[in-house]
Amino acid sequence: MRSISSRQRSRILELEEAARPLEPDTGERDRLMESAHAYAQRLLNELPDRPAYNHDKSAAAGLRRLRIGADTLPIEALIERVDESVVRPGLLPSHGGHLGYVPGGGIYASSLGDYLAAVTNEYAGVRFAGPGSVEMEDLILDWMASLVGFPESSDGNLASGGSIASLIAVVTAREAAGLRARDYERAVVYASAHTHHCLHKAIRVAGMGEAVRREVARDRHFRLCPDSLAELVAADRARGLRPWLVLGSAGTADTGAVDPLGPIAEVCEREGLWFHVDAAYGGFFALVEACRPLLAGMERADSLVLDPHKGMFLPYGTGAVLIRDGEALQDAHAYYASYLQDTVESEWGGRSPAAVSPELTKHFRGLRVWLPLLLYGEAPFRACLEEKLELARYFHREIEALGFEVGPEPQLTVVTYRWVPESGDANAFNRALVEETHRDGRVFLSSTTIDGTFVVRMAALAFRTHLHTIDQALEVLREAVERLEAHPERWRPRVDAAKARG
């Protein structure tokens, strides 16, 4: 074997020395960790006093003053830049006042799981390489399947969120039905107007943008009507179309409505349709005994999506898909390559997550789920979910007492409401109302449009949202209405405002 030249040896050692900052020693690791931990502690301690929403987003541009790859700064300065340009502008998702979109979580124990996952850099895509990380994911999926009532023959995947999880489900449904490109324009998808848009996107990304879409009627509580579904399916069969996929919801983003899952499942089973349930928001309420009847029928779905970063209060980037027929999941997604031939047979056996997902490079996200569950058990998660249910009911009652027009009694933790002024455009008033709350910033509320009516939403799911948060939201809304009624020029066209003053 040819020996290395002294020149080459010197160059290699020189490069090794230049790369040494990437492998800090014990003392440097302690120093870096001390700075990061100090900031985390300060942020968490200051959260109640920080605004939930900062309307001024100009500080984000401060990131551009640092040239990536060229500038270097001490860790303290970089953390300060993160705080000023990333954490402070816009929405603060870790804040208990995040009452807008269905909130994500961020419990502290999960951050430690993420830290350990990054330090160990365990690979969770192939069982041969990471048997422990894959086994941990399997155990988590088994726990979720048991929670929702899926059989032991089911399978699933921990994904980055509901969107990728939905894509996995749609592709599995497509392959299980044996659909090919020539069939797409005859295949029919049934959904309500409040079905989450990520599912429609998943259908398009799966190559089925030509599929026929049918909007199923809703009842007065915004739930999909099984009778309407059955009528549409019968009519489509008579037209020579191919009814294929039904999209149900266990908690819609707009109103938090839970579709009648049992009766929908009966239609699907009778007609041979794939039944998918979007339980990204509402699925984990199965932990609360009182919610079990509401979610009955979820266990009859062919595929189901859950978002632990919602109902389990974990950091963003934690979704899950469950498929009733585990073999269908594997048949739809399994691919193998010759360079991975060593990984096919392992003493551990079983399939690898990379074989049932678009992800080959797969983050070890199981640790952020496993660690808090083993630290605390189910009980505090159950209590937190039940607390949010009570807070939503309390808000619904109190906001009506303030004079707001309210939507249906909340099934989960989303409440819709609006203020109806004595005269003028109610939609314009409520758009201005949302803007007023954003400028206030103490809490963050959002809006949606239902059948042409602009309504305001309150979604209580952040684990730091408590009774005092809801009372503060009520105060913010009351004060905002008073300001807008005192200054109609803020929401009415100038002519209308002048008339009001005259």
Q: Which residue type is seen at 65?
A: R
CATH code: domain 379-501 is 3.90.1150.10
**What is the CATH T-level fold of the domain 115-376, as seen in this structure?**
Aspartate Aminotransferase; domain 2 (3.40.640)
pLDDT at position 495 = 44
State the number of CA atoms in the 13 A half-sphere of 170 facing the CB. Answer: 26
The answer to whether residues 257 and 292 touch, using CB atoms and an 8 Å cutoff, is no
Helices 26-46/75-82 angle, 10° precision: 30
pLDDT at 499 over 60: no
pLDDT at position 496 = 54
- Would you place residue 337 in the very low, low, confident or very high pLDDT band (cuts 50, 70, 90)? confident
pLDDT at position 444 = 97
Q: Each residue of 185-207: pLDDT tens digit?
A: 999 999 999 999 999 999 999 99
Pairing state of beta strands 53-54 and 155-159? Answer: unpaired
Question: What is the overall mean pLDDT for the chain?
Answer: 94
pLDDT at 223 over 70: yes
pLDDT at position 105 = 87
Pairing state of beta strands 414-418 and 187-191? Answer: unpaired
Residue 1 CB neighbours (<10 A): 3
Which helix or strand (DSSP H or E) is residue 409 part of? Answer: none
Backbone torsions φ then ψ of 208, nearest 5 degrees: -110, 35
Q: Which residue type is seen at 8?
A: Q
Domain ranges of the chain: 115-376, 379-501
- Would you place residue 350 in the very low, low, confident or very high pLDDT band (cuts 50, 70, 90)? confident
pLDDT at position 119 = 96
Share of the chain above pLDDT 90, in %: 89
pLDDT at position 241 = 98
Among 255-269, 326-340, 423-437, 467-481, which is the least confidently predicted range? 326-340
pLDDT, average across residues 112-123: 96
The answer to whether residues 226 and 271 touch, using CB atoms and an 8 Å cutoff, is no
The answer to whether residues 415 and 458 touch, using CB atoms and an 8 Å cutoff, is yes
Higher pLDDT, residue 28 or 129: 28
- Would you place residue 174 in the very low, low, confident or very high pLDDT band (cuts 50, 70, 90)? very high
- What distance in Å separates the CA atoms of residue 150 and residue 456, rounded to the nearest whole number? 36
pLDDT, average across residues 358-365: 91
Greatest Cα pair distance, the chain, in angstroms, is: 99
pLDDT at 4 over 90: no
Which residue's entry shows tokens 């192939």? 126
pLDDT at position 146 = 98
pLDDT at position 351 = 85
Q: Each residue of 415-439: pLDDT tens digit?
A: 999 999 999 999 999 999 999 999 9
Which helix or strand (DSSP H or E) is residue 157 part of? Answer: strand 155-159
